Amino acid sequence: MKLAFSAASPYVRKVVACAIARGIDGQIEKAKIGTTDPALLAMNPLSKVPSLATADGMMLYDSPVICEYIDSIGSAPPLFPPAGPARWTAIRQGALG
């Protein structure tokens, strides 16, 4: 997987934190790509970070989407509970982060 990132982005930090919590941070290549770089536009029509190219070539963008994807892979316990009050709490905490 390849993550387009900027170290200054809190949204990127949230994605990286999810990857660390899931134990898959070593599977993600971080690529510093500027928002005016055509390579980022190829990953994300909004030309924003974070953007993730998955191992199978799917392009994901927006930190909540990427975090949900990261939560679906690896063997660690899920970060986001199934539907119900606990899920709303987890999503709200993610928005605060």
Query: What's the average model confidence in pLDDT over 10-26?
Result: 94
Strand order, beta sheet including 59-61 = 29-32, 2-5, 51-53, 59-61
Q: What is the pLDDT of residue 57?
A: 93
- Secondary structure of 42-58 in the HEC alphabet? HHCCCCCCCEEECCCCC
> Distance (Å, rounded) from C-alpha 56 to C-alpha 77?
23
Give CA torsion, residues 51, 54, 59, 65, to 10 deg. -60
Neighbours of 93 (CB within 10 A): 10
Q: What is the pLDDT of residue 35?
A: 86
Q: What is the pLDDT of residues 35-76, one digit of tens each?
A: 889 999 999 999 999 999 999 999 999 999 999 999 999 888
- Mean pLDDT value across the chain: 91
Residue 97 has pLDDT above 90, yes or no: no
Percent of the chain surpassing pLDDT 70: 99
Residue 20 has pLDDT above 80, yes or no: yes
What does pTM read for this prediction? 0.88
